[in-house]
């Protein structure tokens, strides 16, 4: 089983924003999607996912509605607010910049990949 | 979503959170079961990774709420539960505090309304009023020639300056009986300075205010309704002013505009009798002007002083040393009245003390509870609560008490004000009862400080005591001695203050009873009175006026039912003129001479109105003619100015004329004093509020133009009123009668104000008594409850009921005796204060003091006996089971 924890501080929020950016989605599906896309590297337990979702909702980056879903019950679907979209853009850009920089630093030390 | 909606929607959010998490669990289980796992395994694994739904929820909740706020909400809920658990005590304390604050609030509001009355004009604080003072500091108005110069040369005002003069104006020959009104002669710009517009028609133009212009009048909405039935045709109506001048009504002022205060008719200044010929040293006018935004009264003074100086050079015989006096109109108006009414501060002070008593009650409640709660606090500290958390909880509790009391007080006094303002006319012009934000803030501060100080202090003390200590004492801890000492001190203080207040209320009431005793010297029944003002144009000389009154008396006495008729310059219970008393027995009095109240009366006055003389003989018909210059003084005059010895035959020098209103004072002319011999001493009666030194002069000597006619009837006064009107108009069809009142009515009206002060004081004293009683009662009841077990044990061991009662009565007796020991000196101090405020109050009155102490003792005994008896009726077995 791949190591599933140890997401750097603050990255979970960014990942959630990215997943939600694709369209209205409920909490369970977010976790599934993250796990799928990361090839099981990112596994988010309920205890981290929902506080993060609520925090993002609280900060006005996400908004949510209760909608009928495939299970025949109402589920809470999250989507990005315009502010969330802006935040995602900014954070993603800065994350990419940072990882590029880290890569640059790590390359010579680690030799060829 | 805002924070408060989040607080309100707490339950809904909680449901949503639950639904969302369950949804997740259901989906995961469904998926994984579909993938082949067993449901039980999945659930167990999920619990392992996430630690159960409740933990997840808690973390989510933490994300959602601002923690301080949520804690505060919990604090408030906790405080509320604590307060509600002691329902009656809490309600009592809150009500006491609320009632005391409410009384302080309403007392302040009515006091303020009396002391400070504002005109209903736009930015009335920007209106300046100008008068003059001469070299000797005597104040006067402005003469018309001076006004014209000042108006022309003054640069400081925003717009033109204006001037007005007070006068009585009668209206007649307009289809209704002639009637007298308070009038004002105003220059054309007056209404624009005041920024007042008529509600019908127009006000005065410059053309109206020229000598020789046709007379026009503006009337108040008051007489528009009463005299002209609120008819719109009133504009253009012809009316005869003062019996001689034909005039046209051109405007009606809106409701409440009666500048200066009771005016019903305004005429252009040019219509003022004798205006054109007015000398510079006759100064009946008041000048007003509006200040521009950037100017203050000093600028006005600086602007007017050189103008006055120029006038002094140009007209040295009249204007030498005359300087302008500049004030704000509102201040000048209030100053003229407020100074005589400083007595209204006394109830305000009393209300403040009641607030203190209420605060003491609250303090006792909080002290008692703090003692009771030291155990709870100890436990909370022991299981890890921080000091701050506990102190904050107690603070919230105090805040809750204070704010509930405050809300009740504000609501209650608002209700009281609304109820008391609706009916009838206001007691004073421009009297407006309105809530004062500053006062509400002060009250809130008082409530907070009281509850904070007395609630938090003991609680802190309790929390500082070692945790082990608090726990060691267990559930039956007795009240700590410190707290008990405080409680007793507060109770004693309450009783001392109550004693002083009640005694003061008693003294005040007695004083007014003493005043009313004076009214027995006046025959008030079956008598009516009205004002007659003979216009100077038709009754220029004294002989003409004497002839009119002789005719009138003859006609009146022929009316069936009329038994007597007399005239005086002022009826009893109404204000009379004052004249300077320059010498007594040939010795000059003080400089400036004291003003003594002077009433000019016919000989019959001392049979028809006042019940005879104390000494000497009434005036004869010849008194007041040359060579018969005589006077009658009242008893108070004799005791103040004549000392011991027979007053009859002593000589006084009195200078005419009278001054009625300070702001219309004419410069004292070179009128020589008149020397009179005293021929009699009259009993003291009340002209205004109290008996003051008075001099009666014979009517024949001057026959003033304005007099009070007093008519006695035998068979009811109903038919007499039209008969008086007919008799007056048979002699002079244009002569207007003033308001007709009975002497009984005048007497009752004169009592209204003092009665109001006395009853206000009595109410406040009564409230103090009730509060102190309640305070003692609850302290005793509390002590009984806390010592229930002890009592039960004592009784089980054979103590007698009386012995147990005495346990508690002892405290009551101690409080009462200490309260009396401290209260009597306090009562004497209050008595001295009252004596200085209300002339004629006895500072020390043993009867009042004894009655007060007795009343207080009874209340205190009842307050301690009731709980003490309850203690003795306890069933030992039940009592032991308590706690």
Task: Decide: B139 and B133 in contact? Cβ < 8 Å.
Answer: yes
Of B669, B696, B731, the last residue of a domain is B731
How confident is the model over B385-411, as pLDDT tens digits?
677 777 777 778 888 888 898 999 999
Q: Across the interface, do A54 and B60 touch by the CB < 8 Å criterion?
A: yes
Whether residue B142 is predicted with pLDDT greater than 70 in this model: the reply is yes
Q: What is the pLDDT of residue B449?
A: 82
Do both B547 and B585 map to the same domain?
Answer: yes
- The pLDDT > 90 percentage for chain A reads 23
Contacting residues of A for B60, CB less than 8 Å apart: 50-51, 54
Helix (H, G, I), strand (E, B) or coil at B696: strand
Is there a domain that residue B807 lies in?
Answer: yes
Kindly report whether the global pTM for this prediction surpasses the value 0.80.
no
Q: How many separate domains does chain B show?
A: 5
Do both B797 and B693 map to the same domain?
Answer: no
CA B531/CA B546 separation, integer angstroms: 16
Is there a domain that residue B128 lies in?
Answer: no
Q: DSSP characters for B282-340? A: ---BEEEEEPPTT--HHHHHHHHHHHHHHHHHH-HHHHTT-EEEEEEHHHHHHHHHHGG
pLDDT band for B651, please (50, 70, 90 cuts).
very high
Per-residue pLDDT, averaged over B484-506, amounts to 86
Contacting residues of A for B26, CB less than 8 Å apart: 71, 73
Q: What is the pLDDT of residue B575?
A: 84
Q: What is the mean pLDDT of chain B?
A: 83
Q: What is the pLDDT of residue B707?
A: 93
Helix (H, G, I), strand (E, B) or coil at B273: coil
CA B577/CA B300 separation, integer angstroms: 33
Look up the ipTM and state it: 0.86
Secondary structure of B565-614 in the HEC alphabet? EEEECCCCCCCCCEEEEEEECCEECCCCCCEEEEEEECCCHHHHCECCCC
Do both B670 and B751 map to the same domain?
Answer: no
Q: Which residue of B16, B23, B49 is in closest CB contact with A45?
A: B49
- Comparison of pLDDT for A97 and A111, the residue scoring more: A97
Whether residue B133 is predicted with pLDDT greater than 80 in this model: the reply is yes
Per-residue pLDDT, averaged over B629-635, amounts to 94
Q: What is the pLDDT of residue B453?
A: 76
Question: Which domains, from first to last, does chain A contain?
Answer: 11-110 (1.10.10.10)
Is there a domain that residue B737 lies in?
Answer: no
- Comparison of pLDDT for B626 and B13, the residue scoring more: B626
Task: Decide: B767 and B354 in contact? Cβ < 8 Å.
Answer: yes
Whether residue B422 is predicted with pLDDT greater than 60 in this model: the reply is no
CB B517: neighbour CB atoms within 10 A?
Answer: 10
Q: Across the interface, do B16 and A51 touch by the CB < 8 Å criterion?
A: no
Using CA coordinates, name the residue in chain B closest to A69.
B23
Of B45, B65, B85, the last residue of a domain is B65
Do both B203 and B310 map to the same domain?
Answer: yes
Least confident of B86-95, B257-266, B738-747: B86-95
pLDDT band for B458, please (50, 70, 90 cuts).
low
Whether residue B644 is predicted with pLDDT greater than 90 in this model: the reply is no
Do both B635 and B560 map to the same domain?
Answer: yes
- Comparison of pLDDT for B569 and B430, the residue scoring more: B569
Do both B790 and B862 map to the same domain?
Answer: yes
Using CA coordinates, name the residue in chain A closest to B19.
A75
Whether residue B788 is predicted with pLDDT greater than 70 in this model: the reply is yes
Whether residue A5 is predicted with pLDDT greater than 70 in this model: the reply is no
Is there a domain that residue B334 lies in?
Answer: no
- Comparison of pLDDT for B24 and B690, the residue scoring more: B24
Do both B512 and B544 map to the same domain?
Answer: no
Of B683, B705, B731, the last residue of a domain is B731
Do both B277 and B143 map to the same domain?
Answer: yes
Is there a domain that residue B527 lies in?
Answer: no
Using CA coordinates, name the residue in chain B closest to A30.
B24
How confident is the model over B103-115, as pLDDT tens digits?
888 888 877 777 7
Using CA coordinates, name the residue in chain B closest to A4.
B49
Q: Across the interface, do A71 and B16 touch by the CB < 8 Å criterion?
A: no
Q: Across the interface, do A27 and B24 touch by the CB < 8 Å criterion?
A: yes
Distances (CA, A) of B364 to A8, B367, B497, B515, B630: 59, 5, 16, 42, 68
**Local structure of residue B272 (DSSP, 8 states):** S
Please give the distance of CA B11 from its chain centroid, rounded to a whole number: 51
Contacting residues of B for A76, CB less than 8 Å apart: 16, 19-20, 23
pLDDT band for B313, please (50, 70, 90 cuts).
very high
Per-residue pLDDT, averaged over B433-461, amounts to 77
At CB < 8 Å, which residues of chain A contact B? 26-28, 31-32, 45-47, 50-51, 54-55, 58, 66, 71, 73-76
Q: What is the largest CA-CA distance in chain B?
A: 138
Q: What is the pLDDT of residue B69?
A: 61
Q: Which residue of B16, B24, B30 is in closest CB contact with A46?
A: B24
Q: What is the pLDDT of residue B463?
A: 64
Q: What is the pLDDT of residue B11?
A: 76
At CB < 8 Å, which residues of chain B contact A? 16-17, 19-21, 23-28, 30-31, 46, 49-51, 55-56, 59-60, 62-64
Do both B677 and B762 map to the same domain?
Answer: no
Task: Decide: B259 and B203 in contact? Cβ < 8 Å.
Answer: no
Contacting residues of B for A74, CB less than 8 Å apart: 19
Contacting residues of A for B48, CB less than 8 Å apart: none
Q: Which of A4, A47, A63 has the highest number of chain B CBs within 10 A, making it the mutation to test binding with B? A: A47
pLDDT band for A1, please (50, 70, 90 cuts).
very low
Is there a domain that residue B813 lies in?
Answer: yes
CB B870: neighbour CB atoms within 10 A?
Answer: 17
**Domain extent at residue B783:** 478-522+744-883
- Comparison of pLDDT for B535 and B828, the residue scoring more: B828
Whether residue B270 is predicted with pLDDT greater than 80 in this model: the reply is yes
Q: What is the pLDDT of residue B659?
A: 39
Using CA coordinates, name the residue in chain A closest to B1.
A58
Q: Across the interface, do A76 and B20 touch by the CB < 8 Å criterion?
A: yes
Q: What is the pLDDT of residue B667?
A: 42
Please give the distance of CA B822 from its chain centroid, rounded to a whole number: 30
Do both B692 and B587 map to the same domain?
Answer: yes
Whether residue B178 is predicted with pLDDT greater than 60 in this model: the reply is yes
Q: Which of B63, B67, B70 has the highest number of chain A CBs within 10 A, making it the mutation to test binding with A? A: B63
Per-residue pLDDT, averaged over A72-92, amounts to 90
Is there a domain that residue B332 lies in?
Answer: no
pLDDT band for B658, please (50, 70, 90 cuts).
very low
Contacting residues of A for B55, CB less than 8 Å apart: 47
Q: Across the interface, do A71 and B21 touch by the CB < 8 Å criterion?
A: no
Do both B94 and B235 map to the same domain?
Answer: no
Distances (CA, A) of A66 to A23, A77, A78: 15, 6, 9
- Give which of B178, B184, B172, B181 is closest to B238, Cα–Cα: B172
Per-residue pLDDT, averaged over B260-278, amounts to 89
Per-residue pLDDT, averaged over B492-512, amounts to 85
Q: Across the interface, do B27 and A66 touch by the CB < 8 Å criterion?
A: no
Q: What is the pLDDT of residue B504?
A: 85
Per-residue pLDDT, averaged over B143-152, amounts to 93
How confident is the model over B840-855, as pLDDT tens digits?
677 788 888 999 899 8
CA B497/CA B139 separation, integer angstroms: 44
- Give which of B353, B351, B350, B370 is closest to B452, Cα–Cα: B370
Whether residue B664 is predicted with pLDDT greater than 50 in this model: the reply is no
Q: Which residue of A31, A58, A74 is in closest CB contact with B63?
A: A58
Q: What is the pLDDT of residue B741?
A: 85
pLDDT band for B1, please (50, 70, 90 cuts).
very low
Is there a domain that residue B129 lies in?
Answer: no
Q: Across the interface, do B63 and A54 touch by the CB < 8 Å criterion?
A: yes
- Give which of B614, B702, B690, B596 is closest to B652, Cα–Cα: B596
Whether residue B154 is predicted with pLDDT greater than 80 in this model: the reply is yes
Contacting residues of B for A54, CB less than 8 Å apart: 60, 63-64
Do both B666 and B718 map to the same domain?
Answer: yes
Contacting residues of B for A45, CB less than 8 Å apart: 49-50
Whether residue B815 is predicted with pLDDT greater than 70 in this model: the reply is yes
């Amino acid at each position: 089983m791949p190591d599933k924890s140890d997401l750097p501080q603050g990255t979970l929020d960014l990942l959630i924003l990215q997943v939600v950016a694709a369209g209205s989605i409920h909490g369970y599906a977010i976790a599934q999607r993250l796990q799928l896309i990361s090839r099981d590297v990112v596994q988010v337990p309920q205890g981290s996912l929902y506080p993060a979702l609520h925090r993002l909702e609280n900060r006005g980056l996400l908004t949510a509605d209760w909608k009928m879903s495939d299970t025949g019950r109402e589920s809470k679907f999250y989507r990005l607010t315009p502010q969330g979209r802006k935040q995602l853009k900014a954070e993603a850009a800065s994350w990419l910049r940072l990882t590029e920089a880290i890569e640059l630093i790590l390359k010579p030390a680690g030799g060829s990949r | 979503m805002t924070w408060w909606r989040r607080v309100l929607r707490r339950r809904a959010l909680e449901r949503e959170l639950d639904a969302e998490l369950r949804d997740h669990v259901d989906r995961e289980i469904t998926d994984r079961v579909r993938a082949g796992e067993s449901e039980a395994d999945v659930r167990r694994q999920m619990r392992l990774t996430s630690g159960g739904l409740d933990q997840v929820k808690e973390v989510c909740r933490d994300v959602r709420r601002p923690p301080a706020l949520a804690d505060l909400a919990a604090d408030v809920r906790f405080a509320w539960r604590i307060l509600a658990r002691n329902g009656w005590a809490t309600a009592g304390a809150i009500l006491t505090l609320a009632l005391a604050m409410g009384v302080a609030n309403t007392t302040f509001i009515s006091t303020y309304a009396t002391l400070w009355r504002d005109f209903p004009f736009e930015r009335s604080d920007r209106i300046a009023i100008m008068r003059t003072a001469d070299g000797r500091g005597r104040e006067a108005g402005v003469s018309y020639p001076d006004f014209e110069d000042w108006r022309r040369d003054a640069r400081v005002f925003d717009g033109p300056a204006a001037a007005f003069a007070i006068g009585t104006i009668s209206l007649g020959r307009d289809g209704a009986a002639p009637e007298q009104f308070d009038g004002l002669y105003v220059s054309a710009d007056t209404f624009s300075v005041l920024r007042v517009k008529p509600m019908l028609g127009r006000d005065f133009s410059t053309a109206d205010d020229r000598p020789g212009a046709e007379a026009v009048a503006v009337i108040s909405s008051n007489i528009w309704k009463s005299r002209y039935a609120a008819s719109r045709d009133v504009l253009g109506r012809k009316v005869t002013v003062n019996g001689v001048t034909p005039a046209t009504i051109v405007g009606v002022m809106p409701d409440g505009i009666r500048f200066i205060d009771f005016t019903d008719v305004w005429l252009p200044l040019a219509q003022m009798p004798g205006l054109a010929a007015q000398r510079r040293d006759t100064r009946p006018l008041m000048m007003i002007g509006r200040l521009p935004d950037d100017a203050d009264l000093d600028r006005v003074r600086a602007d007017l002083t050189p103008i006055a100086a120029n006038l002094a050079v140009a007209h040295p015989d009249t204007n030498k040393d005359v300087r302008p006096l500049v004030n704000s109109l509102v201040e000048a108006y209030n100053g003229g009245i407020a100074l005589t009414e400083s007595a209204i501060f006394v109830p305000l002070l009393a209300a403040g003390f009641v607030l203190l008593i209420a605060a003491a009650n609250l303090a006792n409640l909080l002290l008692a509870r703090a003692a009771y709660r030291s155990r709870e606090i100890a436990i909370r500290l022991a299981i890890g609560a921080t000091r701050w958390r506990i102190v904050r909880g107690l603070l919230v509790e105090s805040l809750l008490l204070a704010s509930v009391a405050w809300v009740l007080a504000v609501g209650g006094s608002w209700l009281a004000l609304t109820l008391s303002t609706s009916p009838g006319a206001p007691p004073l012009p421009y009297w407006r009862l309105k809530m004062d934000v500053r006062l509400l803030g002060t009250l809130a501060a008082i409530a907070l400080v009281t509850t904070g100080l007395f609630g938090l202090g003991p609680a802190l003390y309790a929390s500082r005591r070692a945790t082990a200590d608090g726990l060691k004492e267990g559930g039956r801890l007795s009240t700590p001695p410190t707290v008990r000492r405080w409680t007793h001190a507060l109770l004693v203080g309450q009783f001392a203050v109550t004693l002083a207040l009640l005694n003061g209320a008693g003294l005040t009431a007695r004083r007014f009873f003493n005043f009313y005793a004076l009214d027995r010297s006046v025959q008030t029944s079956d008598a009516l009175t009205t004002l007659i003002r003979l216009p100077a144009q038709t009754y220029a000389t004294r002989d003409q006026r004497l002839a009119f009154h002789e005719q009138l008396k003859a006609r009146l006495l022929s009316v069936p039912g009329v038994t007597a008729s007399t005239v005086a310059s002022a009826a009893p219970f109404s204000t009379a003129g004052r004249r300077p008393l320059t010498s007594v027995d040939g010795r000059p009095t003080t400089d400036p001479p004291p003003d003594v109240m002077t009433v000019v009366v016919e000989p019959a006055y001392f049979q028809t109105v006042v019940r005879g003389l104390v000494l000497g003989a009434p005036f004869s018909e010849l008194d007041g003619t040359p060579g018969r210059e005589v006077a009658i003084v009242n008893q108070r005059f004799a005791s103040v100015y004549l000392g011991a010895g027979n007053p009859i035959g002593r000589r006084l020098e009195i200078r005419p004329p009278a001054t009625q209103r300070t702001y219309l004072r004419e410069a004292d002319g070179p009128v020589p004093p008149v020397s009179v011999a005293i021929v009699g001493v009259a009993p003291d009666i009340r002209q205004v509020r109290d008996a003051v030194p008075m001099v009666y002069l014979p009517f024949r000597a001057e026959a003033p133009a304005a007099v009070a006619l007093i008519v006695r009837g035998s068979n009811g006064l109903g038919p007499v009123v039209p008969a008086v009107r007919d008799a007056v108009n048979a002699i002079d069809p244009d002569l207007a009668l003033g308001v007709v009142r009975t002497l009984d009515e005048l007497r009752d009206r004169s009592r209204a104000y003092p009665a109001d002060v006395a009853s206000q004081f009595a109410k406040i004293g009564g409230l103090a008594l009730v509060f102190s009683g309640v305070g003692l009662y609850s302290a005793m009841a509390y002590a009984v409850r806390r010592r229930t077990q002890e009592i039960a044990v004592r009784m089980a061991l054979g103590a007698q009921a009386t012995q147990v009662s005495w346990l508690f009565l002892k405290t009551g007796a101690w409080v009462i005796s200490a309260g009396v020991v401290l209260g009597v000196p306090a009562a004497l101090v209050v008595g001295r204060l009252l004596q200085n405020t209300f002339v004629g109050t006895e500072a020390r009155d043993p009867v009042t003091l004894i009655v007060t102490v007795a009343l207080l003792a009874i209340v205190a005994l009842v307050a301690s006996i009731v709980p003490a008896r309850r203690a003795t009726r306890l069933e030992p077995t039940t009592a032991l089971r308590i706690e």
